[in-house]
Chain A
């Protein structure tokens, strides 16, 4: 099933370089979620997932920097909000392991990726050692 961008709207694209960008990620996600008509619980879940993924970039990516792109999308007439987080970091050796609850290489609770996945409708993670990581999440209107 193809996901299409909602025409006439530019995606919001910006760098994630420090924690003030985390606030910006939350703010833009809220704006787009409300414009798309997501309900309050789904909006809160999407913003929280985005906050976790943006923080992953600050914690793990090389140079602690990355980029996010946030846009409204549609699939078979249903609208949603999509956010793409990418970095040029070390990449993830074992994607399945990284998606496991409680797994962390940093002594954190290891909830970032598996937790974010539970909060959204679709999540795809593309990564390879040395080639960075791209995570795409989508939350669809009910």
Chain B
């Protein structure tokens, strides 16, 4: 059995995971595996991935984040990435990583509100 690589907190029906440190590719893939298992096992209806303590997000990490969100949705839950650092956001846009389809929020608190709206099917963000 793969061991857990990140601590996951549960707030009501939502799982909160905070990524930190300088992540190598193997760790990123292990986090992806863990979170996918975790959402299935816990039957949570939402997941917030807090990246506020990541000072660098390159195209690989960004791609895996998008994959995690897609998998969480396939498992019937909602997911959002919260706390992207402004310098990281600027860098990702210039790098050209397509992140526009990801649900994001400024911080965990706003992320919880966003998940609540998504659960109700109320996008309310001007998105289709």
Q: How far is the CA of A116 from the CA of B22 in the complex (A)?
A: 19
B95 touches A48 (CB 8 A): yes
A40/B87 in contact, CB under 8 A: yes
Give the contact stretch, choosing among A6-14, A18-26, A71-79, A86-94. A18-26
Chain A CB within 8 A of B70 CB: no
Q: B96's contact among A44, A47, A101, by CB below 8 Å, is which?
A: A101
| A119 sits at the interface (CB 8 A) | yes
Minimum-distance CB pairs A-B, first 10: A44-B87, A115-B95, A51-B58, A41-B87, A118-B94, A19-B25, A40-B87, A48-B91, A44-B91, A19-B24
Would you mind naming 19 contact pairs between A and B with Cβ atoms under 8 Å apart?
Answer: A20-B24, A23-B22, A23-B24, A41-B90, A44-B88, A44-B90, A44-B91, A45-B90, A48-B56, A48-B58, A51-B60, A52-B95, A109-B59, A109-B96, A109-B98, A111-B95, A111-B96, A114-B96, A118-B94
A20 to B55, CA, bound (A): 17
B86 — which chain A residues lie within 8 A by C-beta? Answer: 41
Main secondary structure of the interface of B (DSSP, over half): helix
Which residues 79-116 in A have Cβ within 8 Å of B in the complex? Answer: 101, 109, 111-112, 114-116
Q: Across the interface, which residues of B come within 8 angstroms of A131, CB to CB?
A: none
Residues of B within 8 A of A (CB): 22, 24-26, 55-60, 63, 85-88, 90-91, 94-98
Provide the residues of chain A in CB contact with B58, threshold 8 Å: 48, 51-52, 55
Tell me if B95 and A118 are in contact (CB < 8 A). Answer: yes
Chain A residues with Cβ below 8 Å from B59 are 52, 109, 111-112, 115
Residues of A within 8 A of B98 (CB): 109
Minimal Cβ-Cβ distance residue in A for B21 = A23
Question: Chain A 23-67 against B: per-residue CB contact (8 Å), 1 yes, 0 no?
Answer: 100110000000000001101110110011001000000000000
CA distance A24 to B68 in the complex (A): 26
* Bound-complex Cα distance A76 to B121 (A): 58
Residues of B within 8 A of A101 (CB): 96
Smallest CB separation, A96 vs chain B (Å): 17
Give the distance to chain A from B111, nearest Cβ to Cβ, in Å. Answer: 22
Please pick, from B24, B87, B97, the residue contacting A22 in the complex, using a CB distance under 8 A: B24
Most buried by A among B24, B59, B90: B59
In the bound complex, residues from chain B placing their C-beta under 8 Å from that of A48 are 56-58, 91, 95
